[in-house]
Structure 1
Amino acid sequence: MANLLYLVHRLPYPPNKGDKVRSYHLLRHLLRQHRVFLGTFIDDPDDEQHLPTLKALCPDLHVERIQPRLAKVKSLGGLLRGEALTLAYYRSAGMQRWVDKVAASHELQASVVFSSAMAPYAQSLAPEVPMLVDFVDVDSAKWTQYAPAHRWPLSSLYRREGAQLLAYERAVAAQSRRSFFVTPNETALFVSQAPECADVVQSISNGVDADFFEPDPVRVNPFASGEQAVVFTGAMDYWPNIDGVSWFVADMLPRLRAQWPRARFYIVGRSPSPQVLALAGEHVVVTGTVPDVRPYLQHASAVVAPLRVARGIQNKILEAMAMGQPVVTVPSCAEAIGATSAQGLLQADSPEAFVQALRPLMDDAAHAQALGREARQFVLAGYSWHAHLSGIDACLADAAPKALAHA
């Protein structure tokens, strides 16, 4: 059993949003064979109640609190230092002291970094402690993609962040023993921008807990009798989700209502932004945090993921498919997962195409259920967390072969 340092930019529990789903399952995978020293940040006071769960899993847990508004102000110092603002946002002397203390008190065999923002803490230990980095997505490309959707000065700031973060991502990958991205497309994108790192990057896909996300015939229907609920799930303070539901309400929902007057759009997810809250009305429900997203998925007439600005594999899509629901999404999200329309993942790249794709689901419940069964079978066959995350095991053994030989 080896000692691993695991650094995560957001408390990896509960697994209730995309990055936390992956970071939590990676933690559980590492704990199968190793002792894991976890350093992380909390940016949501509601997460404080879950600290005992993680303390029970790890021999040492260090948590730094972030107040997002103050952290954003602090990150502006990156403009003067010529660095990515993301790095300043997560810079903490307390976290660095804890990392140094763990390294001095325990013989660490490797560090595992989740998100490039946490890499500076592991870089201070390298090369004596080999570093493995889960970038998940090419975050620099995400910032660059945000720019055209915003006006100056945000557009300029986002382009700058994309360029600065890419330079940092390249430096981190070059120093890492191995780096990971969530899809082959994300890996190829990074290699195209950092060709010098081609030999140290690989893909490790997301998975889904299909035992948890499973239809249950006794699960209570949260929708009003007679309405046709079209559902979107996700953290609603996240810009790609905000953009997606705003697009759907403005351009798709009126077309849906014209053909299916009982259609109602449900935006299900934590921390809705003011822009999302403003969408609520007679035909749009913004739920905020719900105790369990599964009833909304199971009893929906249709599930959509209209994500114009998104990268990698979307957990929200895998979860809906595991719940036996076909999903209508944009081509880039469908291609990342790899399912076909016959397997319950339908593609649409325009408002008209979304309505057309939704038509058989809204008109024929039996057809939708049959596609949903195919969707669940696709997830069961290809998206096991353990099967995908086992890809890191060989990399850990390669990083510190002597120490991990008996793990």
Structure 2
Amino acid sequence: MHSSKTYKKLVVITSRFPFPLEKGDKLRAYHQIKELAHHFEIHLISTSEINVGEKWKSQLKPYCKTITVYPINGFQKITGLLRQLLSKKPFQVGYFYHLSIQQKINKQLRRIQPDHIYCQLIRSAEYVKNYHDCPKTIDYMDAFSKGMERRANTANWIYKLIFQSEHKRLTNYENSIFEYFEHHTIISKQDKNYIFHTLKEQIHIVPNGVDESFLVSPSPSKQEFDLVFTGNMSYPPNITAVQFIVEEVLPLLPKNIKLKIAGASPSSEVLKLASDQVHITGFVEDIRTAYQSAKIFIAPMFLGTGLQNKLLEAMALGIPCITTSLANNALDAQPNHEILIADEAQTFAHQIQRLLAEPKLSQQLIEQGRSFISAKYKWNKVTQTLVDLIKN
């Protein structure tokens, strides 16, 4: 990736190894590293709950000078969580932070002597917050505190208490960690407004993008399904979304309407939604095939924060999309022109029937949606703000 030109040394720290791309934070880190490698000498440091083999590392090697992965075992996870009972830090920070890893990272930083550190997520901020030998940038990505608050509002008793506690801890930590970093980024204006710091206007918005492979002219494929939803199917906002589709939207539609649910690690709640109308695939090697197998992409997102990669990808591939106001606040597509909006089951059913009955509307959303994504959400374009921050 590099010529003989001298590049600034950039250490990138992530709480999960950025491959495979089945989670939003991994996809964001992978594509940002790919773009940053055009401008910097990348040294990647990741913690990981799962074993990272050479096959996965090989996906990052073209972009990184060095790659180091620190495994987190079951004992460390439990002790990390328990430690937080005696502190005010978020449980998820404790889950990923361990003193033995801290000591190794300290040695690494002394050896590398970076010109800049880019820390993805507050989960990994503890490892570098007290390193002051170079400027640092933190990527909040999403406002985790707001996501936890939404989960608390819909959870039952004991989970409600846990989520409320984590919401409070996250709110305080997102605020306090701000001071340790020179630069700050987040995925959308909506998420920026949920960070409660007096200087939050200094946070730069760096959206996610779409891979070029999603923007090439789609090859014709048989659309066996009317509706499709994709995502990591163990992630609570995605579970809530597909339960809503199956239990509240499908009963309002004709019985011949078929839905595909595609994505890694379907939970037991998701698996039991399977029926003659509902097909659940699990992990899909090329997620583009899942999008292209249906006439409409439906994303009833009520709980999550951030910018939905699934909407970027579906629109880029030319699949008409229906989503909530919450999800579109981050995306900022034009309703009834580039996307359709619905916030309750009746409206989702109505929008689906409109699209199935009006080929002209469907074609308009396909064309305008693709143009919108191509103009606004290519990775090289959205990552430029981050490049400029690190360079300056």
What's the counterpart of residue 193 of structure 2? 188
**Which position in structure 2 is the counterpart of 1:384?**
378
Determine the structure 1 residue equivalent to 2:150.
Answer: 145
**Once the 2 structures are TM-superposed, how far is the Cα of residue 130 of structure 1 from its aligned partner?**
1.5
Q: From the superposition, tell whether residues 69 and 242 of structure 1 become closer, same or farther in structure 2 (CA, over 3 Å).
A: farther
Of the three residues 5, 18, 42, the one matched with 1:12 is 18
Contact 1:214–1:324 at 8 Å: present in 2 too?
no
AA matched with 2:219: P
Name the structure 2 match of 1:294: 288
- C-alpha distance 134-49 of structure 1, shift in aligned 2 (>3 A): same
Is the contact made by 1:132 and 1:179 (CA closer than 8 Å) also made in structure 2? yes
Instruction: Tell me the distance in 2 between the aligned counterparts of 1:24 and 1:267.
Output: 24
CA distance in 1, matches of 2:217, 2:17: 28
Paired residues of 1:301 and 1:365 also in contact (CA < 8 A): no
Separation (CA, whole Å) in 2 of partners of 1:143 and 1:272: 21
User: Relative to structure 1, is the Cα distance of residues 234 and 263 closer, same or farther in structure 2, using a 3 angstrom cutoff?
Assistant: same
Look up the match of 1:236. Answer: 233
Structure 1 position 110 matched with structure 2 position 116: yes
Alignment-derived partner of residue 397 in structure 1: 391
How much has 1:67 moved relative to structure 2? 5.1
Report the counterpart of residue 104 of structure 2 in structure 1: 98
Alignment pair present for 1:269 and 2:274: no
Matching of residues 212-251 of structure 1 within 5 Å:
212-218=214-220, 220-221=221-222, 223=224, 228-251=225-248
What residue number does 1:202 align with?
204
CA distance in 2, matches of 1:132, 1:306: 33
Q: Deviations over 1:88-125 (max 9, x none)?
A: 10013343233212221122111101001101111131
**Alignment-derived partner of residue 169 in structure 2:** 164
List per-residue Cα deviations over 1:302-352 (Å, max 9, x = no partner). Answer: 110011102121010010000001110001111221112343311001000
- The CA distance in 1 between the partners of 2:180 and 2:80, in whole Å, is 27
Q: How does 1:54-133 map to 2 (within 5 A)?
A: 54-66=60-72, 71=77, 74-126=80-132, 128-133=133-138
The answer as to whether partners of 2:227 and 2:294 remain within 8 angstroms in 1 is: yes
Quick one: which amino acid aligns to residue 89 of structure 1? Y
The structural deviation recorded for 1:250 is 0.7
Q: Match for residue 337 of structure 1?
A: 331
Q: Which amino acid counterpart does residue 347 of structure 2 have in structure 1? A: A
Contact 2:227–2:260 (Cα < 8 Å) also in 1:
yes
Specify whether residues 214 and 231 from structure 1 end up closer, same or farther in structure 2 by C-alpha distance, changes over 3 A only.
farther
Kept in 2: contact 1:325–1:369 (CA 8 A): no
Structure 2 segments unaligned to the other structure (5+ residues)? 1-6
The Cα of 1:141 is off from its aligned counterpart by 1.4
Q: Which moved further from structure 2: 53-62 or 132-141?
A: 53-62
Contact preservation (8 Å) 2:223, 2:294:
no
Q: 1:246-282 CA deviation, whole Å, 9 max, x = no partner?
A: 111110011123xxx3211111000001111111112
Does residue 177 (structure 1) correspond to residue 182 (structure 2)? The answer is yes
CA contact (8 A) 2:13 2:119 kept: yes
**In structure 1, distance between residues paired with 2:78 and 2:210:** 32
TM-score (norm 1): 0.89
Matched residues, number = 386
C-alpha displacement of 1:15: 2.8
Report SS of the residue matched to 2:259: strand
Mapped contact 2:49–2:71 kept (Cα < 8 A)? yes
Question: Partners in 2 of 1:70 and 1:117 — Cα distance?
Answer: 15
Distance 1:93 1:221, change over 3 A: farther
Specify the SS of the correspondent of 2:297: strand
- Superposed, 1:296-375 pairs within 5 Å as 296-365=290-359, 367-375=361-369
CA RMSD of aligned residues (A): 2.0
Counterpart secondary structure, 1:123? coil
Which residue of the other structure, out of 52, 56, 68, is the alignment partner of 2:58? Answer: 52
SS of the residue corresponding to residue 62 of structure 1 reads: strand
- Bigger shift: 52-61 or 167-176? 52-61
What per-residue deviation string (whole Å, max 9, x for no partner) do you get for residues 13-64 of structure 1?
2333322221111111221111111111333458763122223432221112
Distance in 2 between residues matched to 1:334 and 1:199, nearest whole Å: 21
> Once the 2 structures are TM-superposed, how far is the Cα of residue 2 of structure 1 from its aligned partner?
0.7
- Higher mean displacement: 289-298 or 268-277: 289-298
Q: CA deviation at 1:154?
A: 1.0
Counterpart of 1:277 in structure 2: which amino acid?
Answer: L
User: Amino acid of the residue matched to residue 207 of structure 2?
Assistant: S
Following superposition, the deviation at residue 215 of structure 1 comes to 4.3
Q: Secondary structure at the match of 2:228?
A: strand
Q: Secondary structure at 1:231's aligned position in 2?
A: strand
Contact 1:39 1:95 in 2 (8 A): no
Query: Unpaired segments of 5 or more residues in structure 1?
Result: 399-407
Q: Is the 8 A contact 2:227 2:296 kept in 1?
A: yes
